[in-house]
Amino acid sequence: MNADLERLIALQKLDNTADAARKQLASEPDHERALEARLEAARQEVAAAKDRVAVNKSARAALEKDVAVQQGRLSKFREQAMAVKTNQEYHAIQHEITFAQTEVKKIEDSILVASLKAAEGKLAAETKAVDADRKTMKTAHSEMEAALERIVAERSSLVGSLDKHVLTTFEAVSRKRNGVAVAEARDGICTICHVRLRPQVFNTVRRNDQIVQCDSCNRILFFVPVKTAAAAADAPQPAS
């Protein structure tokens, strides 16, 4: 293979890897915001459940206070031996006590306490998951930074050994074609722009001995020779 063509293929591979790493790094703030939103939603669920428990508790306390007041009135009646004279009032108070006690039972808060526990459990699980995700993101971040440093070094060495004219072509196409200046030609077609190459162009590309550009997208073309029968038999076969 033409040495410059081989370098261009390597250069494109480096550019693709670097591009993917930069995109990944750029997406980190969005990822972090999404994680924080998950935590915030779980925190709000806990706060809402706590509020419901607190509201319930104060309603319960008010009713219990009412029961106590009525019971106080009852014992006062008993002490003053007025029960017989004011029998009707006595029964009215008893009725009020029964009513208040029933109400207290109605606002039993065990269900609310259980839902608070569930919300707290979910918050704990989300915190754990988000922490793990952040740890993974941090590791990936350092790996990508290191990879980018290596790529910069490898790239400058490759660029240094390239023919200046070939490099200029590569850079011009790369700028124009979203960072992808090299394309494989397969079955007579440029695999990136999918335009069929003229037969004599494809024949030249098949030899991999010179720099040939796609007539349509201008990308620099290379050809991957078909594997020998033995090598193909060893390789896993694609499904289609």
CA-nearest of 1, 18, 2 to 174 is 18
Other C-beta atoms closer than 10 Å to the C-beta of 53 total 14
Q: Which is nearer to Zn ion, 44 or 216 (CB)?
A: 216
Minimum CB separation of residue 215 from Zn ion in Å reads: 8
Residues forming a β-bridge with 196: 189
Question: Which residue, 112 or 214, has its beta carbon nearer to Zn ion?
Answer: 214
* Amino acid residing at 72: G
For residues 110 and 107, what is the distance between their CA atoms, to the nearest angstrom? 9
Looking at the Cβ atoms of 85 and 175, the one nearer to Zn ion is: 175
Least distance from C-beta 214 to Zn ion, angstroms? 3
The stretch near Zn ion (CB under 5 A) out of 30-38, 114-122, 156-164, 190-198 is 190-198
DSSP 97-164: HHHHHHHHHHT--HHHHHHHHHHHHHHHHHHHHHHHHHHHHHHHHHHHHHHHHHHHHHHHHHHHHS-H
Work out which of 21, 42, 214, 220 binds Zn ion, going by CB under 5 A: 214
CB closer to Zn ion, 158 vs 193: 193
- Among 80, 216, 227, 232, indicate the residue that binds Zn ion (CB under 5 A): 216
Q: Is 185 in the site for Zn ion (CB under 5 A)?
A: no
Asked whether 215 and 198 are in contact (CB, 8 A), the reply is yes
Determine the Cα–Cα distance for residues 203 and 37; give it in Å rounded to an integer. Answer: 56
**Contact with Zn ion (CB under 5 A) among 46, 97, 217, 220:** 217
Instruction: Work out the burial of residue 65: count CB atoms within 10 Å of its CB; fewer than 13 is exposed, 13-18 middle, 19 or more buried.
Output: exposed
Q: Which of 39, 107, 130, 193 binds Zn ion (CB under 5 A)?
A: 193
Number of residues binding to Zn ion, judged by CB under 5 A: 5
Of the pair 135, 176, the CB lying nearest Zn ion is at 176
Minimum distance from CB of 15 to Zn ion (Å)?
17
Q: Is 190 in the site for Zn ion (CB under 5 A)?
A: yes
Q: Does 112 bind Zn ion (CB under 5 A)?
A: no
Q: Is 30 helix (H, G, I), strand (E, B) or coil?
A: helix
Strands 220-222 and 182-186: parallel
| Residues in region 57-76 near Zn ion by CB under 5 A | none
CB of 119 to Zn ion, least distance (A): 56
Residues at the interface with Zn ion (CB under 5 A): 190, 193, 214, 216-217
